[in-house]
Every structure is written in structure tokens, then in C-alpha cells.
Structure 1
Amino acid sequence: MTALLKAAERPGYPARIALVLSNTADAAGLEYARAAGIETAVVASRGRTRPDFEAELLATLAQHRIEIVALAGFMRVLTEDFVRVWEGRMINIHPSLLPSFPGLDTHARALAAGVRLHGCTVHLVNAGVDEGPILAQAAVPVAADDTEASLAARVLEQEHRLYPAALSWLAAGLVRLEGGVARIAAETATVALANPLPERAFIRRD
């Protein structure tokens, strides 16, 4: 979330962060957002039904006139009905090279599997868990002496580069869906898989 906020401060970035929303009132990101002068909201999920929770989510997003939802550490699984409302306008980042290692504990699972490349993926959200059309991926090599913590740190560095770039493409209208596959405009397609991600991924729309 902090990487997105910082990127949105750059001149020419095609998205403005209008709201930071959490389902828990003590989320650290809320305080960070308030300090940055960004609107915040809490929609509690504990002790209520999914339809009730998601109805308030939708109402809050509508109230703030949100156009794109970028999930960052949001650990609730959203229903198909909610996802359908935001089809093509909701993105998520996952700490693996999807479709490998969906779900939790991705770094430990990658080490246990002995893969030589690990990384992160930004994708459009669909009704499946950690599924949906892939927008961008960044790969990092797995070293022989890597621990879960050391591997996670290198992947996180790439997440902070990749997520703002992918959000900028979506906000600038450079993403289109063809048969369930996300296509990126030609001028950015070469950086949809990279490590490290070139700075030119931060596009301008003149």
C-alpha cells in the first residue's frame, strides 16, 4: 500500500489514491494513510454475514466514487457477486509466480519445492483464489542458501516496483481482456515480466 501511495505522488502518474479501506480498525496502513492526508474507512467483517459485509463495502466504495480497487494485504476472500461488480477493475498482488503456489506460505513452499525462480504476480481478480488474468510478473532467483525470510525480502522489493507499474497501466487504459487473458499495450508489454522492473514502466498519458 505504501508503495502505491508513493507512486501516486509522482508527476504524471495516471491514478490518484482516493481511499484506503480496511476490514480491521487497527490496520497499520490506515494510520499511514491518514498521515498522508488520504481518506480512510473501516468496514468491519467480524461477526457479520458475507452479504452484509460486502454490501457495506460496495456502498463505501460508491460513496467515495472509487473506480479501481487495488488489494494490498486484504485477506478476505470476496464472493463471486462482489467480484463481478468489479470485473476488470480490481487487482491484487500475490507473492509467487502464479499459477504456482497460490494461497499462503508461498516462500516456504517455493523453497521446499526446490524451484530456481520465485517472484510475484499482479493479476486482475476473479472469483477464484489467487486466480484471474495476469498483468505482470517479476522473477527473482532462488539462492542455495536462501531462507524464507531472505527470499521474502527480495520478492517484496519487486512487489514494490511491480504493483505501482501494473496499476498505472490499468488506470491509463492500457489493459484489455481477450478471451480471459490480459493484454498490455505494446509500449509496456516488454516490462510485464522483468527483474528488476525498468523505471520506464511508469507511463504517462499525455
Structure 2
Amino acid sequence: MGQKRIVVLISGSGSNLQAIIDACESGQINGKVVAVLSNKPFVKGLERAKKHNIPAITLQHGDYSSRESFDNALANSLVGFNADLIVLAGFMRILSPDFVNQFQGKMLNIHPSLLPKYPGLHTHQRALDNGDLIHGASIHFVTAELDGGPIVIQAQVNVESNDSVDTLAHKVAQKEWIIYPMVVSWFCDERLTLLGDQVYFDKTIIKTQGISYESLDSNAKPII
């Protein structure tokens, strides 16, 4: 089984991108990041890619006349790089159904909440406003529904009475940097698949809420 070709889509600093690059270089992931694409120029994530000699490409959505024309250009880039896996890591664009359908089953996203709670933006503030005691992050396969695709894994953090948006975001990010490389490695090892709207790990169906990171055994083997 050869290395998988990974393309990462970003819009910002790329901290999850860095975690995935590091995991590829250490051998945790049987794959290679072959390109990083951003819809915003001059972001830190592009600099991270350049430091690792990874092609860093900007496709500014404002340069395109419609969402569909931007998505077509993005899709052509992904096909050109022969991507086995597309990783959305802070990519702040809603993708069209046609685009999503073209890459169904090979596109992952990370979201800073315990989905289905708080799809969309400002998740940490919403968790604080609602007095949540538990918050976290979810990784899911991308479908046409915003932040609504089948969940692979969730990781939890405790919300303390003195937490702010910034401290909560930092706690969640620390979990993200662990679980995203883990899930990418599962995909690259062909242990993780999407069939229809159902996620399978080692040919066993994952429950609707995904794997709980807290339930993983010492070998990072899910208890399904």
C-alpha cells in the first residue's frame, strides 16, 4: 500500500496543517501533503507549507464570478494533484453540492464543537453563553450539509468557570492537533471508509456520534 496523496485546504494560520505535516514526516501517517491551497493570500498556513517545500497555492474566491466557478477551479487543482484525500483545516468556504459530490468519501473536515451542537461560526462563545460544561471538537466526512457529514471522532474538553473564548479555543485546539493526524492516518491506512452515509472503521460501523477519543485504548484502537 503506497503513500496517499493529501491536499490540505486552509484559510488561516494552519495549525492543524502543521500537525498533519509533522505526522507525515514522522511516519505516523502513511501519506504525503502534496499541496496546500488557500482561498486567502498571505496567511501563515501558506508559509508553513513553503517551509516544508510543499506547493502553496492561493485561489482567491473574489477572483471568480460565482461560487460554482471558484469550486470548479478548486476541483481542477485537486484533480491535477491526484489527491487521494482532501483535508479541510480551517477552510472557511461553503462548498457547492456538485463539488462535494465529486469528492465524496475522500474529504474530511474538523469543526470546533461537539456536533451536531453549534454548526457554523463562534462555537466557543456559544458554548460559554449556554453554560456548557463540556465542549470539544469533531472530525467528519464532508457532505453538502454544512458541518453535517457523518462523524468520525469527537474529543472533549471541560469548560471551567474562568474560561474565556481564547482559553477554550486553546484547549480545543490541543485536542484537534492529536485527533486530526490520527484520523488522517486511519484513512491513509485504508481502515476508515465512508459508504453511503455510514462511516466504517476496520469494516465495522461507527456509531452516529463517532468514536470517542476518550474511549481509545492504549494503541489508539477505537472501542466501537
Q: TM-score, normalised to structure 1's length? A: 0.89
* Conservation of the 8 A alpha-carbon contact between 1:98 and 1:121: yes
Q: 1:19 to 1:146 in 2, by over 3 A?
A: same
Describe the SS at the equivalent of 1:145.
Answer: coil
Shift of 1:177: 3.3
Describe the SS at the equivalent of 1:19.
Answer: strand
Partner residue, 1:64: 81
1:13 to 29, 50, 71: 29
Does the alignment pair 1:81 with 2:98?
A: yes
The whole-number CA distance in structure 2 between the counterparts of 1:77 and 1:199 is 37
Describe the SS at the equivalent of 2:26.
Answer: coil
Q: 1:28 to 1:100 in 2, by over 3 A?
A: same
Amino acid at match of 1:169: W
Partner residue, 2:194: 177
Partner residue, 1:37: 53
2:212 to 193, 197, 200: 193
The whole-number CA distance in structure 2 between the counterparts of 1:122 and 1:68 is 14
* Conservation of the 8 A alpha-carbon contact between 1:158 and 1:195: no
Partner residue, 2:136: 119
The whole-number CA distance in structure 2 between the counterparts of 1:108 and 1:97 is 14
Partner residue, 1:50: 67
Q: 1:197 to 1:15 in 2, by over 3 A?
A: farther
The whole-number CA distance in structure 1 between the counterparts of 2:195 and 2:82 is 27
Matches within 5 A, 1:75-154: 75-154=92-171
Identity rate, percent: 35
Q: Would you say how many aligned residue pairs link Structure 1 and Structure 2?
A: 200
* Conservation of the 8 A alpha-carbon contact between 1:134 and 1:181: no
The whole-number CA distance in structure 2 between the counterparts of 1:60 and 1:198 is 38
Describe the SS at the equivalent of 2:92.
Answer: coil
Does the alignment pair 1:158 with 2:170?
A: no
Q: 1:179 to 1:31 in 2, by over 3 A?
A: closer
* Conservation of the 8 A alpha-carbon contact between 1:33 and 1:39: yes
Q: Which runs of 5+ in 2 are unaligned?
A: 1-16
The whole-number CA distance in structure 1 between the counterparts of 2:60 and 2:201 is 35
Root mean square deviation, CA, Å: 2.2
Q: Which runs of 5+ in 1 are unaligned?
A: none
The whole-number CA distance in structure 2 between the counterparts of 1:131 and 1:168 is 22
* Conservation of the 8 A alpha-carbon contact between 1:140 and 1:195: no
* Conservation of the 8 A alpha-carbon contact between 1:138 and 1:197: no
Amino acid at match of 1:76: R
1:89-143 alpha-carbon deviations (Å, 9 max, x no partner) = 0000000000001111101100111111100000000001111010111011111
The whole-number CA distance in structure 1 between the counterparts of 2:180 and 2:136 is 12
The whole-number CA distance in structure 2 between the counterparts of 1:20 and 1:5 is 11
* Conservation of the 8 A alpha-carbon contact between 2:135 and 2:158: yes
Higher strand share: 2
The whole-number CA distance in structure 2 between the counterparts of 1:22 and 1:199 is 36
1:24 to 27, 40, 50: 40
The whole-number CA distance in structure 2 between the counterparts of 1:64 and 1:26 is 22
Amino acid at match of 1:118: H
